Structure 1
Amino acid sequence: MAGWTADDMPAMEDQTVVVTGANSGLGYEGTKAFARKGATVVMACRSLDRGERAASEIRRADGRGELDVRECDLADLDSVAAFAEVVREEYDAVDVLCNNAGVMAIPRQETADGFEMQLGVNHFGHFALTGHLLPALRASDGEARVVTQSSGAHEMGELDFADLQSERDYGKWSAYGQSKLANLLFAYELERRLDESGADVRSVACHPGYADTDLQFRGPREMGSSLRMAGMKVANALFGQSAAQGALPMLYAATAEAVIGGEYVGPDGLLDMRGHPEFQQSNAASRDEADAERLWDVSEELTGVTYDFGG
């Protein structure tokens, strides 16, 4: 694994990959890498215009795969269901699902379904999408993978089941941490259930370290804070690695032969903030199976999505 880069990815002709948030940042770089290896990439984007612009840029570069831009707003469960229905109708199978899109440290808002926005987009939207696409993943000719993007911020997260939507007490960073902890609890619980069912699908988690993307700017932008915007630009310039480098753990988790279910992949550099992919350990809270089962039950209840594991 040492020094692994996107050039080390296997050929992906005849592979179908779904990437959420594919028009910018880590999703854009991941889409570009998958396409370069010949995959068909379904770009799940909140904005079709931004998605088409991103696809055009990739096509003008050296992408050799097919790009299919589709609308998918993770803050709206109806949009998630409609997107998944189209994918199931138009593709025989999905080989890789990258649950990549996310929001970070924004003022409190709610999704179309009344969820706190960070938990709603980062966790509930992806929980619903994965459930809807599970039949397509199970239809893959080989081992399919679900890759869920988390963050080192999961370490400051705490699931508050009594106030899961942060209605009584909202902190933008604590809510973000909760959503990233939820990503890991989901990824590991999904792997346990897949393993029990015998499905040839693996669930893997990853994080990008500190990557210089637009994710860091949405909060300051929505707060209208030019000072915070300037501070974030400085921090990204000093500490952030490129989005292409930050996408490597996701790409490794999605394609590397050495990966097994339930792994957590992140960068190998100082403080896990930059570098090349390696296997890492997330914190004890992310491995709490009782919390994972409870979160799963709550997620099914709130999204109305139940998983068909077959068997």
Structure 2
Amino acid sequence: MGTNWTTREIPDQHGRVAVVTGANTGLGLETAGALADRGAAVVLAVRDVAKGRAAAARIGGDVTVRELDLSSLESVRAAAAALRQAHPRIDLLVNNAGVMFTPKQTTRDGFELQLGTNHLGHFALTGLLLEPLLAAPGSRVVTVSSTGHRIRAAIRFEDLQWERSYSRAGAYGQSKLANLMFTYELQRRLAARGAGTVAVAAHPGASNTELVRNSPAALRAVSDRLSPLLTQSAAMGALPTLRAATDPAVLGGQYYGPGGRGELRGHPRLVTSSPGSYDLAAQRRLWAVSEDLTGVRFPR
């Protein structure tokens, strides 16, 4: 296989069930579309069902829509229950949905919005879907992080919800770091039980998507000017996720991103995350806190 991995490398996906969060636009739409093109039965798990149905019509193939609002644990539990009933076996869960640089807000459960949506919602969803994932040989959980995980590069356990002060970028960075630490700890737990399921992470580099819509106006203006030089299409940005999800050579606990300079653009390759993301004690502490906050205990 060459270094320029593309969707042409995706193995046949017929007979496999894939759940992709945030799949009605951007990276999620490209990910879902590529999986459906290769024959997977794809579930678009989205907050806006109408937009999800429009996306499903664009994609074609065996594509269904499931309502999921990651900022509400009630919605997460309802979606997981419906998915378990419809799919006793799930081969692939892509934790893709996310928010970025939002003003200070909280989820319906009182969590800081970026941490609550990007990490805690996906943590709960994964735990509630682990049973059908474990039932599918060779299944994978792929969680989408970001180079932004290096922003401030630590979990603020002393003020996890940013109640004392708030930074849009800092809260986003914490949530994306949490995505990676969750992946690494999940993989360790799966391996300890001898499971066939693996956990993998990916990031899209600098991709031209709607995710920056909540950025301050000045940052959006700079982004608009530099976008043609620094960013890549959503289709290219989805390739690291797709490789993590389908490449037979992928191992649990790996992290994929663009292979170009600064991991901003390019074809996907194996990359490394920040030193702090590999802190075992912090990973375990984050896991325990996440279980307490969500009320979701992973089966052992």
TM-score (norm 1): 0.94
1:153 maps to amino acid: G
* Residues 1:148 and 2:140 aligned together: no
Match of 2:257 in 1: 266
Match of 2:112 in 1: 116
1:296 maps to amino acid: W
Could you list the runs of 5+ residues in structure 1 that have no partner in the other structure? 60-64
> Structure 1, residues 9-53: CA drift from partner, whole Å, max 9, x if none?
000001000000000110000000000000001100010011111
Match of 2:36 in 1: 35
1:294-309 correspondence to structure 2 within 5 Å? 294-309=285-300
> Structure 1, residues 183-204: CA drift from partner, whole Å, max 9, x if none?
1100000000000011110000
Contact 2:23–2:32 (CA<8 Å) still a contact in 1? Answer: yes
SS of equivalent to 1:178: helix
Hey, what's the Cα distance between the residues in 2 that align with 1:29 and 1:235? 23
Contact 2:103–2:214 (CA<8 Å) still a contact in 1? Answer: no
1:1-311 correspondence to structure 2 within 5 Å? 2-59=3-60, 65-140=61-136, 142-156=137-151, 157-220=153-216, 225=217, 228-309=219-300
Aligned length: 298
Hey, what's the Cα distance between the residues in 2 that align with 1:126 and 1:270? 30
1:147 maps to amino acid: V
Hey, what's the Cα distance between the residues in 2 that align with 1:23 and 1:68? 11
Hey, what's the Cα distance between the residues in 2 that align with 1:30 and 1:304? 30
- What is the aligned-residue RMSD (CA, Å)? 1.1
Contact 1:217–1:232 (CA<8 Å) still a contact in 2? Answer: no
Change (3 A) 1:216 1:240: same
Q: Give how far 1:228 is off.
A: 4.5
Q: Give how far 1:257 is off.
A: 0.8
Contact 1:300–1:306 (CA<8 Å) still a contact in 2? Answer: yes
Change (3 A) 1:218 1:50: farther
Q: Give how far 1:92 is off.
A: 2.1
Could you list the runs of 5+ residues in structure 2 that have no partner in the other structure? none
TM-score (norm 2): 0.97
Q: Give how far 1:235 is off.
A: 2.9
SS of equivalent to 1:89: helix
Q: Work out the percentage of aligned pairs sharing the same amino acid.
A: 50
Q: Give how far 1:133 is off.
A: 0.3
Match of 1:62 in 2: none
